[in-house]
Amino acid sequence: MADVSGIIIRKAETADAAEMEKIEKTAENYPAWGAREFVKDMANRVSNMFVAEQDGKMTGFINFWIVGGQAQLNGIAVRGEMTKRGIGGLLLKKMLESAKESGCSEAVLEVEETNLPAIRLYSKFGFKKAGTRPKFYDNTGNAVLMRAEI
């Protein structure tokens, strides 16, 4: 069991966008948004973004929408050297809690079928495969659609 004491999850602010961009760059094959898109999205009323911090340093973020009774995961990333310490789990838990508070009945996401760390993380939190989207990523990689009941 990972020791997650000392890790805090807080709402992201526009000033966080540059560091969030740096974190997504540490992830291989990650469909990066970039700081400008993060800031643009924060102004969207359906947007929810949270960051993980430890000792004042950002270690990860999650970006999702809550719309039409559904939580949709747009992205989750943990700083490369900080993975496998429970941070991704804390961020995903935050999304599911927010979705519940907002009265959502389900959460959905798409993930590249070869991204096993992410698929295992999602499965651990109750997501189940709900379909596939062939050639979803840059018209080459297949996506798995996953869904969790809230």
Ligand X SMILES: CC(C)(COP(=O)(O)OP(=O)(O)OC[C@H]1O[C@@H](n2cnc3c(N)ncnc32)[C@H](O)[C@@H]1OP(=O)(O)O)[C@@H](O)C(=O)NCCC(=O)NCCS
**Options 33-41, 94-102, 118-126, 130-138: segment touching ligand X (CB under 6 A):** 118-126
CA angle 95, 100, 106 (to 5 degrees): 80
For 50, 116, 135, the CA distances from 143, given in Å and listed in that order, are: 24, 12, 7
Convert 1-11 to b/e letters by CB count within 10 Å (16 or more is b). Answer: eeebeebebee
Q: Which stretch binds ligand X (CB under 6 A): 12-20, 36-44, 111-119, 135-143?
A: 111-119
| Interface with ligand X, residue 2, by CB under 6 A | yes
Instruction: Determine the residue type at 72.
Output: Q
CA-based radius of gyration for the chain:
15
Between residues 54 and 102, which has the closer beta carbon with respect to ligand X?
54
Binding-site size for ligand X (CB under 6 A) equals 22
CA distances from 49 to 13, 110, 139, 142 (A): 8, 17, 28, 26
Closest distance between ligand X and the C-beta of residue 130, in Å? 16
- If one asks whether residue 71 binds ligand X (CB under 6 A), the answer comes out as no
- In 3-state terms, what secondary structure has residue 50? strand
Task: Confirm or reject binding of residue 117 to ligand X (CB under 6 A).
Answer: yes
Site for ligand X in 78-107 (CB under 6 A): 78, 83-89
58 binds ligand X (CB under 6 A): no
x/- letters, 28..57, toward ligand X (CB under 6 A): --x---------------------------
Contact between 75 and ligand X (CB under 6 A)? yes
